[in-house]
Amino acid sequence: MPELPEVETVRVGLKRLIVGKKVASQSHDWPKSFPNSQGDVNQFLIGSKISDVRRRAKVLIIDLDTKYSLVIHLKMRLLPTIEIPNIDFMKKVGPEPLETEFTSDILHQRLQRRKNSSIKAALLDQTVLAGIGNIYADESLWGAKIHPETKVGQLTKPQTKKLYTEIVNVLRLSIEKGGSTDRNYVNAEGKKGSYIEFAKVFRRENLPCPRCSTTIIKTRVAGRGTHLCPKCQVVQND
Ligand SMILES: [Zn+2]
């Protein structure tokens, strides 16, 4: 599953390539990933002009001049543009970490929904924050020197502030590098991203920590493979 930087990279690339173009025909590799009736496709998609390519969390939205949009999450659906904010996912999803309204105070508030969880589980929760998955959770926790198992309620204000800065920096760097190619992700032009070469802990188990040279370990937190430096990131739960 791609995370925010990968979806953003695809969005920017697609926007450049397809806005203003007309949809001539439609084809797909996997019928289950395109659950739309032929009638809807003919009426709202074929012949329509693409007016914008937007993103919310990890969801890509292609707006058409028929006032319908293609909403691409795990499946691609056609939907009236006006109904998008009513999709269950859109109603529940947390704030966009790269928007100017997102501040360290907002991060602190959002995290309070998961006071008793580990910070890693809270970061992966899309209702807390939009678009963060395993890679960027591990990278930003390393940057902030926070152990992924630390309980949200134990985090100090300065730690939350540092975590906020790290989340924003890690996501920005990844977008700059075209995302991280993991399994089957490629950008709008079919190219791979290079962020993973810049990762500090993710998939770097048994290698030295770039900050203190201690060997990075891989463990399991929140049910996910988790990479951390056992010296820089110490659990501080009471
Ligand atoms: Zn370290």
Query: Which pLDDT tens digit goes with each residue over 153-211?
Result: 999 999 999 999 999 999 999 999 888 866 555 666 777 778 888 899 999 999 999 99
Q: How far is the centre of ligand 1, averaged over its atoms, from the C-alpha of 186 (Å)?
A: 31
CA distance 153 to 141: 16
- Where residue 225 falls among pLDDT bands split at 50, 70, 90? very high
- Catalytic annotation, pick one of 77, 172, 224, 231: 224
Task: Give residue 202 CA to ligand 1 midpoint distance, Å.
Answer: 13
| 196 domain residue, yes or no | yes
Name the helix (H) or strand (E) containing 135: helix 134-143
**Does residue 35 sit in the same domain as residue 122?**
no
Residue 129 shares a structural domain with residue 186: yes
What pLDDT score was predicted for residue 185? 59
| Whether 112 and 35 share a structural domain | no
CA gap 103, 93 in Å, rounded: 17
Has 172 been annotated as catalytic? no
CATH number, domain with residue 59: 3.20.190.10
Residues near ion ligand 1 (Cβ under 5 Å)? 209, 211-212, 214, 229, 231-232
Same domain? 77 vs 176: no
Active site (annotated) includes residue 3: yes
Same domain, 86 and 108: no
Q: How far is the CA of 233 from the centre of ligand 1 (A)?
A: 7
Residues 185 and 81 grouped into a single domain: no
Residue 147 lies in a domain: yes
* Average confidence score pLDDT of the chain: 91
Residue 112 belongs to a domain:
yes
CA 188/CA 202 separation, integer angstroms: 24
Q: Is this model's pTM higher than 0.95 or not?
A: no
The verdict on 111 and 224 lying in the same domain is yes
pLDDT at 74: 63
Give the percent of the chain with pLDDT over 70. Answer: 95
Is-catalytic flag, 183?
A: no
Q: Tokens 């790290």 sit at which residue?
A: 166
pLDDT at 110: 96
Domain membership of residue 85 (yes or no) is yes
How confident is the model over 116-132, as pLDDT tens digits? 999 999 999 999 999 89
Distance 222 CA to ligand 1 centre (A): 21
pLDDT at 96 (0 to 100):
96
Same domain for 110 and 208? yes
Confirm whether 148 is a catalytic residue.
no
- Confidence at residue 188, expressed as pLDDT on a 0 to 100 scale: 67
Residue at 208 is within a domain:
yes
Q: Could you say which of 11, 55, 58, 177 is catalytic?
A: 58
Catalytic pick among 2, 5, 95, 97: 2
Residues 108 and 141 in one domain: yes
Residue 237 domain-assigned (yes or no): no
CA distance 135 to 130: 14
> Which pairs count as long-range contacts for 147-150, CB under 8 Å and 24+ apart, including other chains?
147/228, 147/233, 147/234, 147/235, 147/236, 148/118, 148/119, 148/120, 148/221, 148/222, 148/226, 148/228, 148/233, 149/118, 149/119, 149/120, 149/221, 149/235, 149/237, 150/118, 150/119, 150/235, 150/236, 150/237
Domain count, the chain: 2
Same domain, 76 and 49: yes
- 63 is a domain residue: yes
Range of the domain at 76: 4-92
Q: What angle do CA 57, 217, 104 make, to 5 degrees?
A: 35
Q: What is the CATH number for 178?
A: 1.10.8.50
Looking at the DSSP bridge assignments, the partners of residue 224 are: 221
**Residue with the larger pLDDT of the pair 141 and 192:** 141
11 CA distance to ligand 1 centroid (A)? 35
In a domain, 186, yes or no: yes
In a shared domain, residues 112 and 209? yes
Over 70: is that where the pLDDT of 1 sits?
A: no
* pLDDT of res. 115: 94
67 and 143, same domain (yes or no) = no
- Among the three residues 92, 123, 148, which one is the final residue of a domain in this structure? 92
| Distance from residue 133's CA to the centre of ligand 1 (Å) | 22
